[in-house]
Structure 1
């Protein structure tokens, strides 16, 4: 039987969390998958742990970059190693509800007009679940003006859709925005995504996750916003959104964290469905 879903997990210094992420895939209700783990030259022994996990299940495949290359390159490395018809993303500090793969695969099989599908998510930190994050159901190109309407580790792609845009763009401009740039480029050529209105992943976000990017990275984001908005014929209304990254760099971290913590469901201990 051919592999249906390739789960890609890029990882860096994730010795404390990667096992949880992998086990959340191994316990999915749908079981025709492979897991592609690519380590970006971790310094904490993560790669040794990946090789141990690889021995536990023949569907797990562990690789390592020759040098530290950052997230976009590492994700592309994983995609190139994959053999599945679909690419399901997960980050090394996040984990899935057990029906995630089944529900997203069914959606894409039943809805040929969509090229990828994401979901809502639970937000958690060291103390447990403190909220959730909702995404628009059927984002139009205008919904990409402010920010990405997709939670990147929640997304499953048709592999051929990723190949049409040659995967993630490896550039200094996209070091802090490679996922947003990807969705902009996909929409710019007419590809389209959807969000299932269920929390299908647990997304790690503590106060440090909301730290401000430097103006260097914000300038890079402004550049790729401008280029992609132009391709999407979104000017002149896109102009304020091109300068938005520079303004966002001035917002205190505490406000960003507070905004997300107030959106949700209240702190809970564990949800394992």
Structure 2
């Protein structure tokens, strides 16, 4: 276990809304960390059942628990910003209420940040279905100066995988509360402008993918709000790297992937055609256009093949 007399405080920000069982699991994974000291900030985004009662039994002298409750429901980004404003640690780590960490997650990230002289770090993530079966494991391989790579896709993934130096957040600012989705992608690009990134290759985060109800599964907010706003935020940066059309192609491809997962095959076809028009050099654009053209028969087949390949490699 880390030395509590010398090691810097880590503030853990957990936004939550009406998931008492899940948030209890998430909090338990924080308490099981091999790293200390920890400041645990649980921001209740005005749940029908206040979460503070579930936190009362916590008894750990090295974990300071700070429950905060919004007077009205304001969304996940607002809850994370409330936690950021309350945090006092040198490092800040995010944990979504339906995810959990393996015990060595924080300790491994502290070491990686120090070793790489980085401003933030992320780990690989194991995605599981409601029965606990592994659906996929993300890769965690990009490190160093990663702004350009992030313009072509959110390879970092969920906020739950990320730890950031407080000094970098002070430079980059708070999260953009206008974004109903892809808020993590936009924020990672912004953070990367001020520092290097460290990658921890092991999947130290378990992400529980619910069958319904997650905002990432709703296509309309992405299409009408997140997509144009993300392009607006990324275009000036892409111009600096002379990759504006390529960036546009990859963001549009991400929109098409979201449309496919929601069964909007016609919309997905339009998205993939535009992504190819903007950047015709990525084979995945054509593969997913073919899946969208095949409609409700081809896309499930593509997903089944990907799941089978994941099982063979895990």
TM over 0.5: yes
Structure 1 position 35, deviation (Å): 0.5
Relative distance call for 1:33 and 1:249 in structure 2 (3 A) is closer
Tell me how far apart the structure 2 counterparts of residues 56 and 32 of structure 1 sit (CA, whole Å): 10
- Deviation for aligned residue 1:164: 1.1
Q: For 2:122, what is the secondary structure of its paired residue?
A: strand
Question: Is the Cα–Cα contact under 8 Å of residues 15 and 80 in structure 2 kept in the other structure?
Answer: yes
Rounded to whole Å, the distance in 2 between the matches of 1:108 and 1:226 is 30
Matches within 5 A, 1:46-125: 46-50=51-55, 52-53=56-57, 59-112=64-117, 114-125=118-129
Query: Structure 2 vs 1, CA of residues 215 and 159 (structure 1 numbering), >3 Å: closer, same or farther?
Result: same
> Aligned in 2, Cα 1:39/1:243: closer, same or farther, shift over 3 Å?
same
Q: Give the superposition deviation at 1:166.
A: 0.9
The structure where helix makes up a greater share of residues is: 2
Q: Which has the higher contact order (CA 8 A, sep 6+)?
A: 1
Which of residues 156, 162, 169 in structure 1 aligns to 2:163? 156
- The 1:47/1:260 distance shift into structure 2, 3 A limit, reads farther
TM-score (norm 1): 0.84
Other-structure match for 1:22 = 27
1:47, CA displacement in angstroms?
A: 3.8
Q: Secondary structure at the match of 1:73?
A: helix
Q: Return 5+ residue gaps in structure 2 as ranges.
A: 263-298
Q: How far 1:64 moved relative to its partner?
A: 0.6
TM normalised by structure 2 equals 0.74
* Mapped pair 1:176 → 2:181: yes
Shift of 1:264: 3.4
1:201 CA drift (Å):
1.1
The SS at the match of 1:76 is helix
Unaligned stretches of 5+ residues in structure 1: 269-273
> Which residue number corresponds to residue 173 of structure 2?
166
Deviation at 1:212, TM superposition (A): 3.9
Structure 1 residues 230 and 93: CA distance shift in structure 2, 3 A: same
2:260 counterpart residue number: 251
Q: For the Cα contact (< 8 Å) 1:4–1:32, is it kept in 2?
A: yes
Larger radius of gyration: 2
- C-alpha separation between the residues in 2 aligned to 1:77 and 1:259? 41
Aligned pair partner of 1:134 in 120, 138, 148: 138
Q: 2:199 aligns with which of 192, 195, 198?
A: 195
Structure 1 residues 258 and 12: alpha-carbon distance in aligned structure 2, compared to 1, 3 A threshold:
farther
Q: Please tell me the root mean square deviation across aligned C-alpha atoms, in Å.
A: 2.7
Distance 2:140 2:14 in 1: 25
Larger CA deviation: 73-82 vs 126-135: 126-135
- Tell me how far 1:93 sits from its aligned partner: 1.2
Tell me if structure 2 keeps the 8 A contact 1:219–1:245: no
Q: Per-residue displacement from partner, 1:53-98 (whole Å, max 9, x unpaired)?
A: 4677661110111211101111010011111000011111111111
